[in-house]
Chain A
Amino acid sequence: MAETPILEVDDLARSFDVSRPWLQRVLAGEGKRILRAVDGISFAIPRGTTLSLVGESGCGKSTVARLVVGLYPPSRGRVVFEGLELERARAIAEQRRRMQMIFQDPYASLNPRWRVKDIVAEPIRAFGMTPSAAAQQAKVAELLTQVGLSPLDGEKFPHEFSGGQRQRISIARALSSNPDFLVCDEPTSALDVSVQAQILNLMKDLQARLGLTYLFISHNLAVVRQVSDRIGVMYLGRLVELAPAETLFTTPRHPYTRALMEAIPDLEMTGRQRIPVGGEVPSPISPPSGCPFHPRCPLADDRCKAERPVLLPARGTEASLTACHAVEEGRDGGVPAAQRVGTTAIAL
């Protein structure tokens, strides 16, 4: 980890104005409504590794993905790609070429009116990477073979393929500009379980062969465990825990992470007692004061309601960073005895 990480994110925040139209707002006498999708998160991704972000729907993980590739400008904080401020990096074609994105919905991520060969070749053309049409054709054929499709598939249209095959086309398009860094926004959540495994294996395989760095977004803990080096757990636009993958599953520290682990279905049907998390995710338009998890947290006290926790190395498992006052003060009972939970549950 001596070399500089390929991507650094520092206090990144993004809010959206979800107010009603001006006239209606004035008539109803209400103020602006600001949704804080991402509220001050920081992480770094070392070259050749995978960082996953997990969390429930609406916790802001997809917004992070889009901020990182510059689809949204941040409201606060910064993204640094290869030592360059993201905005400056994206102004340079050679740097822009090195970051690509794979999307969630294989039915919306390919232009239905374009042939597959044109879809895959779009980045090649945009960056002027091959001198001749023949070279471009050869490159497209190579890419399609690389993701497990036939070069002849280039002549077809996207609707002639299944969801898994379309996701392979998406990957081929992302790889066509020879990127170093791939943002994968729930790339398998729209696919069947058996196909998910194929796509994940393909992605791991490509990472090993091409030395890719992944930012992987998912809500599926089993998927995340298979691909990640490190995992960040998000709750209401903030990172609550950031830990090496195995550490997170064997010794989850943050109360929210523990609750997530509890919720994983158990194939052995041990009949063990599960403690459900009460309440709902609060609205990101008016988030709770202090720690965002305090209304649902069994360990919350007055400090949690008032003061926002920051990511600190957890007592006992120093590799994991946890934003929790209870863990910091040792009120959580130290390293959990619930180690068993993680290992048996994820065996599926």
Chain B
Amino acid sequence: MAAITSSLGRMLDSDLFWSFRHSPVTVISAVVALICILGAVLAPLIAPHDPFDVATLNLIDAFKPPAWAAEGDATYPLGSDDQGRDVLSAIMYGARVSLLVGFCAVLFSMVVGVGIGLLAGYAGGAVDGVLMRIADIQLTFPNILIALLVDGIARAALPADVHDRVALFVVIFAIGISAWPQFARTVRGSTLVERNKEYVLAARVIGISQLRIMLTHVLPNVLGPVLVIATLGLSNAIISEATLSYLGAGVPQTQPSLGTLIRIGNDFLFSGEWWIAIFPGLALIAMVLSVNLLGDWLRDALNPRLR
């Protein structure tokens, strides 16, 4: 218990926390991000309706405008869509999918990228050359193009029923695989610096195995910038997922994400039911912007040259 309070005390006392408290934009972003994440994670508990429960849907309730409009209904705070589903609840459930895909995709590209970068930087020579040229080639294509390509291949290669079951994993893989070069490049750069430092030589003199040196000595010292890239990567992954879903490629219809909601709402945008597309869009903007601003702050706060 004492250890927990002391480490908490150290955290509140740290430079990082000081710079956090003294940046109002960051504090607001953190609050918004926290609301988004909590709303998404706790959706089954706090959402006013269950948009997937067909029994509660009633077509009479379709196209209700937001609660504050003249014909609004207080049970549908942000209005309802063409099926009579509550837009707010759909957003909360959709954000769940968006965040899940975002987190998993970033985690996936982080593991792949950090692993490849560490190996390339530490091994050097031909291994480094080959791995980094692959990264360079991939970087010449836009991320979304690679994600679309992977998604398209999976659709063509897998039977429809199998694809529906694994669609979520396909999207995670497609987005994750498109973002690994950023991680790999950064980690390789720091690894090149660290591997010639004398603490690594000291471990080699003792005869510690190369793999062990990589994991216990080099890895902890190259992870600093990775945290920043991962945070900024999260917002990119969420946007990629939304783009894929908007194009009809991403997650299956049965698990609508924010991108899917925007696409559905798009059909009604010009017939006056603007809330069906606009509110999921605003939710997406709030989520991505807050995560991005947090990433920017983290980058500045962890960069000693900007202090």
| Chain A residues proximal to chain B, CB less than 8 Å | 66, 69-71, 90, 93, 96, 99-101, 103-105, 108-113, 119, 122-123, 126-127, 170, 173, 177
Contact = CB atoms under 8 A, between A and B. Distances in A.
Contacts of A96: 206-207
Contacts of A109: 197-199, 201-202
A76 B114 CA distance: 37
Nearest to A111: B199
Contacts of B198: 103-105, 108-109
A177 B202 contact: no
B206 A103 contact: no
B202 A173 contact: yes
Nearest to B129: A21
Contact of A177 (B197, B199, B203, B206): B206
For the complex of A and B, the 8 pairs showing the least CB-CB separation, nearest first, are A109-B198, A103-B198, A113-B220, A111-B199, A108-B197, A108-B198, A101-B205, A96-B207
Contact of A126 (B199, B201, B206, B217): B206
Interface of B: 197-199, 201-208, 217, 220-221
A155 to B, nearest CB: 12
Contact of A111 (B204, B206, B207, B221): B221
Contacts, number: 49
A101 B208 contact: no
B72 to A, nearest CB: 56
Please classify the interface of chain B as helix (H, G, I), strand (E, B), loop, or mixed, using the class held by over half of its residues: helix
A105 B208 CA distance: 21
A99 B205 contact: yes
10 contacts: A69-B205, A101-B201, A103-B201, A103-B202, A108-B199, A109-B201, A110-B199, A111-B217, A113-B220, A126-B207
Contacts of A90: 207
B213 to A, nearest CB: 10
A24 to B, nearest CB: 14
A66 B205 CA distance: 9
A93 B220 CA distance: 27
B130 to A, nearest CB: 14
Contacts of A127: 206
B203 A122 contact: yes
A99 B197 CA distance: 19
B207 to A, nearest CB: 5
Given A109-B198, A109-B199, A71 B221 contact: no
A108 B208 CA distance: 18
Contacts of B201: 66, 71, 101, 103, 109
Contact of A122 (B197, B206, B220, B221): B206
A110 B203 CA distance: 10
A211 to B, nearest CB: 20
Contacts of B203: 122
A103 B204 CA distance: 13
Contacts of B197: 108-109
Given A100-B205, A103-B198, A113-B221, 4 more contacts: A96-B207, A108-B198, A109-B198, A111-B221
A65 to B, nearest CB: 10
Contacts of B199: 108-111, 119
Contacts of A101: 201-202, 205
B202 A93 contact: no
A100 B206 CA distance: 7
A320 to B, nearest CB: 32
A126 to B, nearest CB: 5
Contacts of B202: 101, 103, 109, 170, 173
A109 B196 CA distance: 10
Nearest to A99: B205
B220 A126 contact: no
A111 B201 CA distance: 11
A97 to B, nearest CB: 8
A19 to B, nearest CB: 14
Contacts of A122: 203, 206, 208
Contacts of A111: 199, 217, 220-221
Contact of B205 (A71, A93, A104): A71
A113 to B, nearest CB: 4
A312 B40 CA distance: 82
A178 to B, nearest CB: 13
A93 B207 CA distance: 8
Given A108-B197, A108-B199, A110-B199, A123 B220 contact: no
Contacts of A104: 198
A108 B202 CA distance: 10
A123 B206 contact: yes
Q: Which of A90, A99, A111, A112 has the most CB of B within 10 A?
A: A111
A109 B201 CA distance: 8
A70 B205 CA distance: 7
B150 to A, nearest CB: 32
A110 B202 CA distance: 9
Contacts of A99: 205
Contacts of B208: 122, 126
A71 B221 CA distance: 22
A105 B198 CA distance: 7
A81 to B, nearest CB: 13
A105 B204 CA distance: 16
Nearest to A185: B198
A112 B221 contact: yes
Nearest to A100: B205
A284 B201 CA distance: 24
Nearest to B203: A122
Contacts of A112: 221
A126 B209 CA distance: 10
